[in-house]
Amino acid sequence: MEAHIGRIEHLTDSEWHGHLSTTIFFAGCDFNCPGCNTPDLLIAKEEHLVDLKEVKRQIREHAGATEAVVFTGGEPCLQRQALISLASFSKDAGLRTALVTNGSKTECIRSLLSLSLLDTVIMDIKAPFEEGFFQRATQSRTFFKSTAELLEDISSTLRLLRRYQDRVDIVIRTTITPSLVTRKEDLLKIAGRLDDMECVWELVGFSPENVADKRFSSLRPPSQEFLENLAGTARKMYPRLRVFTG
C-alpha cells in the first residue's frame, strides 16, 4: 500500500508538545486556510507517494528513541486505510499515538477510536461555526460540499470526541490570526462549544512564515500578552475550560 506522505520528522515535539515523536506529515488537505504554514502539503502529488513499508521501517528504526508517533498534514484522515495501518503498526510497536485533524472526517476518526488506535486527538477549530466566517478562515467550500455541511461534520466529530473523552486526551487548537480570528467575542463563541467537554483548549499565535496566502506574510503575529488576555477572558466566562496559550 502507498500513501501520499509529504515528509517524516524524527525526535521532535513540535506537533505534540512534551512528547518526543516521529511525526508523519500526510499530503493533501480538504481545507485551504490562507494562514496555513504547510502550503506544500495542501495538494497530494505523485511525488508524495511513499510505500507504507518504508514509513513503518522508519517508525521501527526510531522506536527506541521516541515515545510516540504523530499523524498530521495536510489532513491525515483523507487517507483512511493508510492512516489506520500506520496507527495500528505504531501501537503494536508500543508507541503512543496522536492525530492532528481539522475534524471534517468523522467516520475515519470514529474508526481509529473504536479500534483503540489513538491516545490523543488534537483538533483544529479554525473559526466560530458561522458559515461566512468559517469559509473566510478555511477556504474549504467546494462544489461537492457546502460550508454548512462541513460545519455539521465538525460538530459530529465534537460529539464523537465527547463520547471518548474518558479514554483519550483531547486538545482543541485555535490559531489567533490577525484579520481573521482575533476578537474576544469570536473566541467566546468557540469556547461555548467546548464548555461541557473534557479537553485542553490551546490558543496558538499565527506565524507569518511560509504561509499559503502571501498576503498574510506581512502580518504581525499576536503577542504573548495578547494571547494571555484572550485566554483570561475565556477562563472568566467559562471557568471549567482548561485554556492555555502556545
Could you give the 3-state DSSP secondary structure of residue 212? coil
Cell numbers of 127, please? 473559526
Angstrom distance (rounded) from CA 148 to CA 131? 6
Three-state DSSP at 187 gives: helix
Residue 81: the pLDDT is 97
pLDDT value for 90: 97
pTM of the complete model: 0.95
Instruction: Name the stretches of the chain with pLDDT < 50.
Output: none
Residue 91 confidence (pLDDT): 97
C-alpha cell belonging to residue 215: 498576503
Residue 50 corresponds to which cell in the numbers above?
A: 511513499
CATH topology of domain 2-245: TIM Barrel (3.20.20)
Query: In Å, what is the CA distance from 143 to each residue of 53, 149, 199?
Result: 35, 12, 34
Pairing of strands 200-205, 21-26: unpaired
Query: Which residue ranges make up each domain of the chain?
Result: 2-245
pLDDT at 215: 84
Q: What is the pLDDT of residue 182?
A: 86
